[in-house]
Each structure stands twice: as C-alpha cells, then as structure tokens.
Amino acid sequence: MVNWKSRKTGDILLLLNGLVLMVLVNLFSADFFFRIDMTEEKRYSIKEQTKDVLSDLDETVYVEVYLEGDLNAGFRRFRKAIAETLEEFRIYSDNKVKFSFIDPSAAKGTKAQSEFMADLAAKGIQPKNVIENQNGQRIEKLIFPGAIVSYGTAERGVMLLKGNKARTAEEEINQSIEGIEFELVNAIYNLTSLDRKRIGLVTGHGELTGARAAAFHNTIAEVYDVTDVDLLSDDLSGIDAIVIAKPTGPFTETEKYKLDQFIVKGGRALMLIDRLEASMDSAAADGYFAFPYNLGLDDLLFKYGVRINNDLIQDQNSGVYPIVTGNQGSRPQVQLMPWPFFPLINRYADHPVTRNLDAVVTRFVSSIDTVKAEGVVKTPLMFTSQYSRTLTAPVSVSLNEMRRNLDKSAFNESFVPVAYLLEGQFTSLFKNRFLPDSVDGKSFVEQGQPSKIIVVADGDMVRNEVNPRTGQAQALGYDPFTNYTFANEDLLRNMLAYLTDENGLISTRNKEVKIRPLDRNKIADEKTKWQLINLLLPLIVLAAFGMARAVIRKRKYTRA
C-alpha cells in the first residue's frame, strides 16, 4: 500500500516529474531549434543570408584553419572567434560544415615544413611575421592566419587576417574578427554555387588588357565567368555586370546607347576611368602637361549623377617612386621619394564595400562631384587624406618636382571623394533625345529597373606590375619599391560582389565587434584597492554567513 502522504513518496514523484519535464523540453527543443545571443552587438549571431547558404549545402564542406600552435594573446582570441563562427556554421548546416585547426610548424623536418608553408602561400594564405618580446628576448614567429575551404574536388584558400594595417595590432585583429563570417561563407558560396555570374570586360577603347591587367582578370575569373565585350556587336542580355577599365579612346553614340540601356534595364557597371592622360613614362620628360581624355562619357555620367573633374589630386599621404638624387663616382644614387600624384587611400565610407579595408594605392586620380539625378542615391566610398589638393588641367606632371620641397600649406583640401556608388532607377541619357541612327528604338526604355553603378576616378586601380625578369604579372596592388601589397584586389572583389550579390552576402561585412579596453591609468591607481576587495570580501561574506547560520541554529534549538 502506497502512502501518498509520506515525504519519501512525494520526493520520488517530484523527481519523476522533473525527469518527464526534462524529456519534454528536449523533445520540444529538437523540433523548435533556437539560439539566444545576449551580446550588445550580436557578435555570436550569423546573418540570415549566411544561414540560407549553409542550409542549402548538398555535400560536406571541410575547412582547415592554419592558426594553431604557440600563439600570442591576440591571435588566440582570433583563433577562438574563428572556432566560434565555424561552430555556428556547423550547427546551421546540419553538420555539413566540418572544421579542424592545423599547426603548419608541426610538420616533421625543416624541409617538410618549408614545402608545406610554400604550398599554403601558393594557395593564397600568406604568412605573417609576428615579433614579440619574451623575457627581454626578441622572438619572431611565422603564422598563417588563413584557411583552406574544400567542397568535393574543389578548394579555395581564404586569408582571414584582413584588417587595416595602419591601426594597432589589436584593432587589426578585431577588424579581422568582424570579417570572418563573410570571408568563410563567401568562399563556401563560390565553391558550391552552380550559378556563376557573368562579367563583361568592355573592349575597343584602349582599355587596360594583357599582362598589365592579368592579375585583375585572374582574380575575378576565380569567382565569375569573364568575357570580353564589344559594345557595337555583342549582346549584353546575358551579362550581369560590365567593367570599363581605363579606357583611352572615345565611345561612339551607339556604344553609349547600348551601355545606357544595359544600365537602365537593371545591368550593373563598374567604371574605372582616368580623366586626364598622365603616366610615369610621360612624367620622366620635362615640360609634360596632362590634358583630359576625350572619352565621350561625360554626359552619360552626368545624367547618372556624378562628374569626374578635369583635375589631378596630389596628396601628402602618397606612394613612393625611385629617383636619381646624385652620383657617387660613376654610380647614380637612387632614393625612394614620396610622389604626391600616387595618393594612398585609407579613408572610407562605413559601407560593406570598404569596411575594414587596408590602404589602397591610386595613380593619377581625379576628384568627383555629384549632380542632381532623380531617383539615384549617391554614396561616396573613398576619400583622400586631410592633406591633399586638386590641380586643374592642364597639370604639370614631372619627376623633377620630387626634388623640390613642396609647400605643405598648399595641401589645404581634406577628404576629397574619388569613388562613388550610385543606386536607384536611372533615367536614360537618350530620354527626349534623338536615338543614334544605327539602333532599333523599339526596345528603348527611358527608366527601368533598379540598378547599381560604381564610378572610380582612377583607371590604374586594376593595373598590376609585371616582373621584368619573368614577365609574369605580380599581385594586384603590389608595390615593387616597398614590397608592400595594398588592398586593391580586396577592394575590387568587394565592389563586384556588391554589384552582383543578389542574396546579400556582402552585408555580412557590416558585422561589428566592439573593443572594450580597460583604463590602464585607472588600473594602476586602483590596483591595490581591488586586490584587497577580491581577497577580503569573500572571506568577510563567508564569515558573516557562518555567524548568521550559527545564531539561527542556536535560536532554533534553544526554543525547542
């Protein structure tokens, strides 16, 4: 006979009810999955666009991260953030994303390590030399802050350390943490997507081609189907975006009509245009003046809302160029000197295209103004430094100027815009105008679907250096004089991603992880106080609790 009123029976029933409740909660949570991110900036949450990509995976994606081993505090935090992001990927992909961390230095033997590291570098994971002081000794380590993403038989190297190198090491790592989700999910999407976008490179106007544009071509060919486009003869209906890279010859009215209708009907365009004819070959000659190109695109850009001015920008924050400063015996003395016609762009809009980007090198860049264009939103993307100036055409471009001391007070213009993003419904240039005789006006559209255009007032943005010994194209943005690779490739990748990205993956670059550093002065001033509090307060609380408990027990049993 069960005594339902006994305490033992009640405890057993309570235990059984608890077990049943736990089973029900687990069953419920298995069918209704959710996760709660309690952080202010939602640092542990991933975007809905990322979840869509992960949920559509048909096969397993393998991610090998080469950030392992003896790491300093900053890179340990970076490694932890990568692991947390990949764990989220694993959960939302239903375990189709598998990842591991590998130490490149763990290979046995010096030769094996060298071959392994060379293989990583060939796949785009460049090493970073980390210098630390430990116990008064200078210690240098090579780390590879990147990953290899594999899907089926295809794989892609992903560089994960991509912050602005002008910032502190802590800020650079923090910016890289903000970009982890985009870099990884973008690689997964490009490997798994069967619908590759088509990019058309406009030709026929002296555009940059061949070895000087090989790095740009190879970079975008990894992600897109790339084809040359002749505006006079080719059909643009299957093209998702076109690129106009440093044209030097004029566009005919028929070509402008086809270009205009492509954009008005929803096509995307990246225009990298030099307004003035200037080059280093010309700068070597005395008395050279840069005059405007006659491209015939001024009215088209004006209609869309921007105007590239007839000027060149000089900036104190600039690249360098070698110049002969004298002779030592029969040998010329060459010195790298700042060349103000090569502005280094390190100020950007807070936009997914340019967020957390390292410096970009430009060559003979012009300023851009905006004009009224109904239905078009204009976003400046790139700016010069606060120590710049504009020189109106004709502009004297001579290497001899590098030998002179420039008047710094003349650099009195700040943050001059050199690139714009235009978004909206564009009105055709040929509205209320006669159409070219060679075109069929039956399909003419005055204002059509929403579109996007990015205009950069520097055609050399896509130009790469060529190794004089091998004739091979060097990395986009690589400066052979300083051995530094600027972020030109990342910028152009982001621009095309934004123009062609229908699922909004580029928006994941807006993720923000705030740094909340401690006040070092306050720490030094209040160190002793907080040490005493942390040491004594728990003891005082524990003693007070013991005394209170003793008093309560004494009163309880004294009454009994």
User: Would you say residue 325 has pLDDT above 80?
Assistant: no
CB neighbour list of residue 3: distance below 8 Å, 6 or more residues apart: 9
Token reading at 546: 């013991």
User: Would you say residue 506 has pLDDT above 90?
Assistant: no
pLDDT per position as a tens digit, 249-291: 999 999 999 999 999 999 999 999 999 998 888 887 778 899 9
**pLDDT bucket at 176, cuts 50 / 70 / 90:** confident
The Cα 322–Cα 320 span in angstroms is 7
DSSP run (H or E) holding 117: helix 110-122
Q: What is the arithmetic mean of pLDDT over 113-121?
A: 79
pLDDT score recorded for residue 513: 65
CB 458 within 8 A of CB 275: no
Query: Which 8-state DSSP code applies to residue 399?
Result: G
**pLDDT bucket at 210, cuts 50 / 70 / 90:** confident
pLDDT score recorded for residue 524: 72
The Cα 117–Cα 123 span in angstroms is 10
pLDDT score recorded for residue 130: 76
pLDDT score recorded for residue 311: 95
What percent of the chain stands above pLDDT 90?
44
Token reading at 115: 């071959």
Q: Which is more confidently placed, 195 or 343?
A: 343
Query: Which 8-state DSSP code applies to residue 474?
Result: P
pLDDT per position as a tens digit, 439-486: 887 889 998 899 999 999 999 999 999 988 888 889 899 998 888 889
Least confident of 55-59, 328-332, 524-528: 328-332
The mean of the pLDDT values for the chain is: 86
pLDDT per position as a tens digit, 216-238: 999 999 889 999 999 998 899 88
Instruction: Give the closest residue to 253 by CA, choosing from 78, 127, 377, 429.
Output: 429
Q: Which domains does the chain have, with CATH numbers?
A: 48-192 (3.40.30), 198-503 (3.40.50)
Q: What is the arithmetic mean of pLDDT over 95-101?
A: 93
pLDDT score recorded for residue 2: 57
User: Would you say residue 297 has pLDDT above 90?
Assistant: yes
Q: What are phi and psi of 433, to 5 degrees?
A: -130, 160
pTM higher than 0.95, yes or no? no
Positive or negative: CA dihedral 58, 499, 491, 200: positive
